[in-house]
A and B are shown apart, each in its own frame.
Chain A
Amino acid sequence: MADGKGFTCLMVILILGNIFGAAAGLALCALAIWVAVDQFKLYPISGVSGKDDIFAGAWIAIFTGFAFFCMCVFGILAAAKKSRALMLTYLILMLIIYIFECASCITAVTHRDYLVGNSNLVKKQMLKYYAADGDSGSRITLTWNKVMKEVECCGTDGPVDWIEYNSTFREKFGTDYPWPTHCCKRKNNYEVVNVEACKNGQNTTMFTKGCFNHIESVFSRYTWAISWYGFAVLMFMFWLLILAMVYYLML
């Protein structure tokens, strides 16, 4: 094909697009690292249920994000050198990375629907595993204690969950304490304000809101980071790859 103005223009667009794509890929890598680190420490809730692909998607996105960065730098080189072989390599490798990143986005958003579509799974898990023996039991107990303390909440939809349903907690500790003492308000020295009032359910001495809103918002935040941002990067890469194919045909 002729080395005309259109060709040069396309090459410049391709180079600029690859520079932007490299930055986007690196940002995806960084965001995925943030999700994988799990600052809110809610992984056990998804891990015990087996629906932990939000985090699997994050791990994939770390590698694909960095791979996008490397390939875009390579793409700049390939476009500037006007080499067919290099452009073909670029196209094939980018497509492979593209497919992996698609998998990451789709699996993260699907597992989010399983986990926090409604409060049933989280509630069932809380009732079964809180205060249970075993590895799952201790992980769930520690996670819930942390959430109840920091978010100042009790139960999934509310403290009534502990009364409405039978639970491992009730089987272990009896009905004297209708809910864990982490549901009770505490003073600054970590002492419970009024244990008897908390046991009776007086709403001035205990937390009455449910924890599900917080759990759902955290998992949604992680998912939007992986799946929606990943989706945005992929849409950009889609058009970049189409242009790259046109450029390859013109070489």
Chain B
Amino acid sequence: MRTMFIFFGMLFTLSNAEFQVSLLKESDGVVTGRFADSLLLSLPPCAFATQSVTLEYNNTDTNESKTLVNIFKVLPCRFRRDIISTIENNGQFTTSRNLGYQVTNLTTGSTYRFLTPVASKQNLKHSFCMLFISVKDPNQIDSGLPARSGAMVVITVILSVSMFILLVALIVTVAHSLGGD
């Protein structure tokens, strides 16, 4: 089982506010935040609105670094194009909700460390998140017999016993009738 160990740090240059970067989960409205070679990360909160976001990540296995500079500005809670957002329409009004940012072109089986300084001034605060992505080989799935069900045992036992009884009874019947003749 190969695992990709991802280490995130989001740095925000702002007032002493702290921000926790994390993977999107089912409660955020997606099936999973972990794909084979990409991840869905949560967005900085609207409190950092108009701050430009730079994401720097480092593959700790191969020691390659990559920086995505000014990928988007932190949203003032309104729709933006590169962000994954969902639009919910219940027939009366439409709401759009921004879910997260998808980091792509990652390598399966590597460890990554993410850092995001929001392009501004001082006061960097770190926030880390540890993530595992595993891609398993389907040939390792054990598809043998899991267990014998109760139905199978009952049917087999009772039918086998009844077959045996009938066979013995028939032999006895024929023998008795032949002996009697």
Q: Which residues on A are within 8 Å of B, measured CB to CB? A: 49, 84, 88, 91-92, 95, 98-99, 102, 105-106, 109-110, 112-114, 117-118, 120-121, 123-125, 127-128, 158-160, 163-167, 170, 175, 178, 197, 200-204, 206, 208, 227-228, 231, 234-235, 238, 241-242, 245, 248-249
Nearest opposing residue in chain B for A154, CB measure: B31
In whole angstroms, how far apart are the Cα atoms of A113 and B166 in the complex? 28
Known: A175-B35, A197-B86, A208-B31. 13 other contacts (CB 8 A): A88-B174, A110-B152, A110-B156, A113-B145, A127-B141, A164-B135, A170-B36, A202-B99, A228-B151, A238-B162, A241-B169, A242-B169, A248-B177
Q: Is the CB of A128 within 8 A of B99?
A: no
Nearest opposing residue in chain B for A101, CB measure: B159
Q: Is the CB of A200 within 8 A of B84?
A: yes
What does DSSP make chain A's interface, helix, strand, loop or mixed? helix
In whole angstroms, how far apart are the Cα atoms of A92 and B173 in the complex? 11
Nearest opposing residue in chain B for A167, CB measure: B138
Q: Which residues on B are within 8 Å of A, measured CB to CB? A: 26, 29-38, 40, 84, 86, 88, 99, 102, 134-139, 141-143, 145-149, 151-152, 155-156, 158-160, 162-163, 165-167, 169-170, 173-174, 176-177
Query: Across the interface, which residues of B come within 8 angstroms of A124, CB to CB?
Result: 138-139, 141, 143
Q: Is the CB of B173 within 8 A of A91?
A: yes
Query: Across the interface, which residues of A come within 8 angstroms of B31, CB to CB?
Result: 158-160, 201-203, 206, 208
The 4 closest A-B pairs by CB, nearest first: A201-B31, A117-B146, A127-B138, A121-B143
Query: Across the interface, which residues of A come within 8 angstroms of B142, CB to CB?
Result: 120
Q: Is the CB of B151 within 8 A of A164?
A: no
In whole angstroms, how far apart are the Cα atoms of A146 and B169 in the complex? 51
In whole angstroms, how far apart are the Cα atoms of A113 and B165 in the complex? 27
Shortest CB distance B131–A (Å): 13
Q: Is the CB of B137 within 8 A of A204?
A: no
Q: Is the CB of B84 within 8 A of A249?
A: no
In whole angstroms, how far apart are the Cα atoms of A175 and B155 in the complex? 47
Of the candidates A113, A123, A160, A178, the one whose C-beta lies within 8 Å of that of B152 is: A113
Q: Is the CB of A235 within 8 A of B35?
A: no
In whole angstroms, how far apart are the Cα atoms of A165 and B151 in the complex? 32
Q: Is the CB of A203 within 8 A of B30?
A: yes
Shortest CB distance B137–A (Å): 6
Q: Is the CB of A200 within 8 A of B40?
A: yes
Shortest CB distance A39–B (Å): 23
Query: Across the interface, which residues of B come within 8 angstroms of A123, CB to CB?
Result: 138, 141
Of the candidates A98, A165, A204, the one whose C-beta lies within 8 Å of that of B88 is: A204
Query: Across the interface, which residues of B come within 8 angstroms of A202, CB to CB?
Result: 29-31, 84, 86, 99
Shortest CB distance A169–B (Å): 11
Of the candidates A99, A118, A120, A197, the one whose C-beta lies within 8 Å of that of B163 is: A99
Could you give 15 example pairs across A and B, Cβ below 8 Å?
A106-B155, A109-B149, A109-B151, A113-B147, A113-B152, A118-B146, A120-B142, A125-B143, A175-B37, A200-B102, A202-B29, A202-B30, A228-B155, A231-B159, A245-B173
Q: Is the CB of A84 within 8 A of B138?
A: no
A163-B34, A166-B135, A249-B177 known; A109 vs B155 contact (CB < 8 Å): yes
Shortest CB distance A73–B (Å): 20
In whole angstroms, how far apart are the Cα atoms of A49 and B143 in the complex? 10
Query: Across the interface, which residues of B come within 8 angstroms of A170, CB to CB?
Result: 36
Of the candidates B32, B38, B137, the one whose C-beta lies within 8 Å of that of A166 is: B137
Of the candidates A102, A120, A160, the one whose C-beta lies within 8 Å of that of B143 is: A120
A117-B147, A166-B136, A200-B40 known; A109 vs B167 contact (CB < 8 Å): no
Of the candidates A113, A121, A158, A245, the one whose C-beta lies within 8 Å of that of B148 is: A113
Query: Across the interface, which residues of B come within 8 angstroms of A245, CB to CB?
Result: 169-170, 173
Query: Across the interface, which residues of A come within 8 angstroms of B86, CB to CB?
Result: 197, 202, 204
Q: Is the CB of A98 within 8 A of B163?
A: yes
Shortest CB distance B118–A (Å): 24
Q: Is the CB of B143 within 8 A of A105?
A: no
Nearest opposing residue in chain B for A114, CB measure: B145
